[in-house]
Amino acid sequence: MNFTIQNVLIAVEEAYLTVDVQVVDGKIAAIAPDLNLIGTAVDGSNKLLLPGFINAHTHSSEMWQRGIMSIFPLELWLAELYDFAPLDLEKVYLSALGTAVETLLSGGTSVVDHLVLTPGLELQTIATAVRAYREVGIRAFIAPLIQDESLTAGIPAGNSVQNHDPYFRSTAATLEIIEAAVKQFHRPEEGVSILVAPTGIQLCSDALFSGCIDLSDRYNLSRHAHLLETKAQEKLAQEKYGCTAVEHLQRIGYLSDRTSLAHCIWLNDTDISILAQTQSTVVHNPLSNLRLGSGIAPILKYLQAGVNVCFGCDGAASNDSQDLLEAIKIGSILHNITDLDYQNWITPRKAVEMASLGGAKGLNIADKIGSLDLGKQADLVLYDLTNLSLLPRTDPIGLLVLGRPTNVVHSAWVNGQQIVTNNQVNTINVDNLRQELFKHSQWETKRKSESVEKIETHYRQVMDF
Amino acid sequence: MNFTIQNVLIAVEEAYLTVDVQVVDGKIAAIAPDLNLIGTAVDGSNKLLLPGFINAHTHSSEMWQRGIMSIFPLELWLAELYDFAPLDLEKVYLSALGTAVETLLSGGTSVVDHLVLTPGLELQTIATAVRAYREVGIRAFIAPLIQDESLTAGIPAGNSVQNHDPYFRSTAATLEIIEAAVKQFHRPEEGVSILVAPTGIQLCSDALFSGCIDLSDRYNLSRHAHLLETKAQEKLAQEKYGCTAVEHLQRIGYLSDRTSLAHCIWLNDTDISILAQTQSTVVHNPLSNLRLGSGIAPILKYLQAGVNVCFGCDGAASNDSQDLLEAIKIGSILHNITDLDYQNWITPRKAVEMASLGGAKGLNIADKIGSLDLGKQADLVLYDLTNLSLLPRTDPIGLLVLGRPTNVVHSAWVNGQQIVTNNQVNTINVDNLRQELFKHSQWETKRKSESVEKIETHYRQVMDF
């Protein structure tokens, strides 16, 4: 369906222009003042048009545990999370819908779902998420979360001798699942991509990483992983490899210009230059990094070193919302306390570029989305600047990034298809979703995690508490 | 007007109870399951009742500059702010309304407005804010922002010799204005209080502080000020007094159990024990502290030392929203990176207590508001737990504090008077306010601040950039 957005504000250099934007066959066909009307007219007056943002790292099914997780660091938090992970496909479906809706209504048109797989139902889990994202119409990058070591292996041993149960599934069987998923679901031109996505060095063998590299090369898949989220993982890498995790990942060939790495907090200067050199992308998840006490990722250093950086919400169990504008705001201003010289700070315009083009680069799709350029796919978001939360009128992008916008996404398109209209997702029944989420849950307070009880003493010891 | 909230969730110990809450003559009269209906029935089912929060530090008229301020540290930011400060009373009125609305719709029932006074129209400025807050019905603590030194005096001299213009109004004349404001507007029982509020050691003489102490003692006024927001102010205190700002404020008698101090970032351990000993209150403004790169206030240390802590949004020019739930979320999780031991971290329940009872303590009004206790004034907020942003159902307070709630304030009462109904402020016409804010403003980009040009070179020098 073709359309023309009329009299809309767009950002150029350090100013704004009022223009018309023509979209033909799902692509941006023209941007200029006073264009002829092609297709449907969309009133852009008092609105701002931006490229859709990319929610570049999340775990959709964590939505079932938001608000309830203990105030723990990652290692204990993960133990609690796994004790209460939802297993049924109905929940997988509903939380994927919920994640898509929250991403869309905060300016995101793409989501990278580092998807937790239900044991024994791995392909069905992926199929369920694919179904949800196709129904909503959001551009989906499904990164099935895999590992081949059991949870306790993710904690440094320190001076103790630790024995870990073998993981319940072989490395080969895991790789077969991913290859089957690629064959069944990887349809980039239809808006659904599969990524290879070992969870990270803390729970994955070299064999698993190598198998993922092989799949990535054979099927042209982007690569994803967590990287050095905690100080414990920094210690673990030294125990496991005798070098940093980044050095090891470079050595085995996992880093590339289509590799995106979530968190990247505990990197040294050499590690940073390796990321720059390999053109890897950092996905910044500021809120989850604060909630889990993981630390502040050295984002200003990354930008200065020329490393591509984008934003993710992370799963709702570690950042209990999926609001990209919140992640962009906090992920920008947080770093002002890490460098006294304000000339290095992230401006709102820079943050918008990181959230859109930065995200696209990390997924190796910057030639297709991420900016308002002619010929690119129309993944677009139209913001209503008359909303109380964006008033009084000043700098639209400043208000959007530094304020706390509420109900401001007027319209959103993916591949030129409109999926948000008047601040409502129009492809699914959101009120029905709301009722289903309500029905499948109950109010709770603190829960008792058996896994946490098992590992807490060792964790406190090895972390010197 | 009397009413009974029926079947509502309230927090007790580590659990929730479903109860009825009777409000009679503006006070909480009974809390228990299955009470008799007194007055109007309010349906509390699937809702959470909390005491109203206190937005314990803001500057309402900064709303006119939100989104547009340069990404600067405080000293330069302040110079830019003053170059473009709005002067007319119509704008003062509209931004006070806007601040009240955003505070209310994020769970606040009280606001401390460190109000910038229009030169020559000081009492009129205060009268205008009083009128706005009375119309909305929010509990207002108006802290007229005063100083008696000119802006450049707020920057450390370093090795240079600096001459500063005298301030345009005498210390005595300023104190006379405050006393007149107290006589005209200080009506705590009607929900409007005047505070003494010198802006801080960086721009105030000891004579001004002493005059404020005298007024505070004579009229039983709470005391407010900024304190050690930046590293530059830490340096300045040493230049000015040869000791820390806290030591100096203690020496001149400004610290007390009715003194609340905004920011408190650059304090040492001795300073912290002085705050504890004097029972002073810290107002934590996490978002503005990040945006201005001021630093992370050592909130976990304050709590461990027994210092009372509450939350503020700060003005919308340094945190471009007035959403208390955002300040509470970031002000809680931010500190997890300052102390590796998670047993010291702020829980959602603790955060709620800080935002309500903590705020009340800082204003010397904890006997009247701040908790759901019998006999206290009914400053109450009812949250709709069926909102998509609070689903699926888990721990209600966890969802509220750690999520990103949107449109969740169903009802709010101040002194038992309902001023929010069905997520709408019912005392003023908010759509009309929205149109007025739109009409009085225009889209802008970067502005040229002459004051910044004058002081930037010296600032960079003295800060060693």
Chain A with chain B: Cβ pairs closer than 8 A: 230
Residue B114 and residue B312: Cα distance in Å, rounded?
Answer: 11
DSSP sequence for A27-77: EEEEEETTPPP-SEEEE-TTEEEEEPEEEEEE-GGGGGGTTTS-S--HHHH
Strand order in the sheet with A53-58: A53-58, A108-116, A139-145, A192-194
Q: What is the pLDDT of residue A163?
A: 87
A446 in contact with chain B, both atoms CB, cutoff 8 A: yes
Q: Which residues of B touch A90 (CB under 8 A)?
A: none
Is residue B404 classed exposed, middle or buried when 0-12, 13-18 and 19+ CB atoms within 10 A define those classes? buried
Torsion over CA: A224, A229, A233, A234 (sign): positive
φ, ψ at B321 (rounded to 5°)? -135, 165
Q: What is the pLDDT of residue B404?
A: 97
Cis peptide before B392 (omega within 30 of 0): yes
pLDDT for B66-98, tens place per residue? 999 999 999 999 999 999 987 799 999 999 999
A462 in contact with chain B, both atoms CB, cutoff 8 A: no
B174 in contact with chain A, both atoms CB, cutoff 8 A: no
Residue A20 and residue A22: Cα distance in Å, rounded?
Answer: 7
Q: What is the pLDDT of residue B101?
A: 98
Tens of pLDDT along chain A (465 residues) come to: 899 999 999 999 889 999 999 999 999 999 999 999 999 999 999 999 999 999 999 999 999 999 999 999 999 999 999 999 877 999 999 999 999 999 999 999 999 999 999 999 999 999 999 999 999 999 999 999 999 999 888 889 888 888 889 999 999 999 999 999 999 999 999 999 999 999 999 999 999 999 999 999 999 999 999 999 999 999 999 999 999 999 999 999 999 999 999 999 999 999 999 999 999 999 999 999 999 999 999 999 999 999 999 999 999 999 999 999 999 999 999 999 999 999 999 999 999 999 999 999 999 999 999 999 999 999 999 999 999 999 999 999 999 999 999 999 999 999 999 999 999 999 999 999 999 999 999 999 878 899 999 999 999 998 888
pLDDT above 90 (res B445): no
Q: Which of A152-161, A351-360, B172-181, B382-391 has the lowest mean pLDDT?
A: A152-161
Q: Which residue among A67, A71, A394 places its CB closest to the CB of B394?
A: A67
| Inter-chain touch A320–B398, beta carbons under 8 Å | yes
Segment B440-448 shows an average pLDDT of 90
Q: Which B residues 12-31 touch A at CB under 8 Å? A: 14-16
Q: Which of A99-113, A388-402, B144-158, B208-222 has the lowest mean pLDDT?
A: B144-158
> Which residues fall within 8 angstroms of residue B336, CB to CB, at 6 or more apart?
A71, A73, A290, A291, A292, A293, B342, B345
Which residue, chain included where needed, has tokens 């020329």?
Answer: A306
Q: What is the pLDDT of residue A161?
A: 84
pLDDT for B309-344, tens place per residue? 999 999 999 999 999 999 999 999 999 999 999 999
Q: What is the pLDDT of residue A13?
A: 87
Smallest Cα distance from B452 to chain A, Å = 13
Q: Which of A81-95, B274-288, B358-372, B411-425 has the lowest mean pLDDT?
A: A81-95
Smallest Cα distance from B169 to chain A, Å = 31
Q: Which residues of A touch B442 (CB under 8 A)?
A: 393
Segment B97-105 shows an average pLDDT of 98
3-state secondary structure A8-33: EEEEECCEEEEEEEEEECCEEEEEEC
Considering only CA atoms, which of A91, A72, A143 is closest in space to residue A113?
A143
Q: Which residue among A102, A333, A443 places its CB closest to the CB of B393?
A: A443
A334 in contact with chain B, both atoms CB, cutoff 8 A: yes
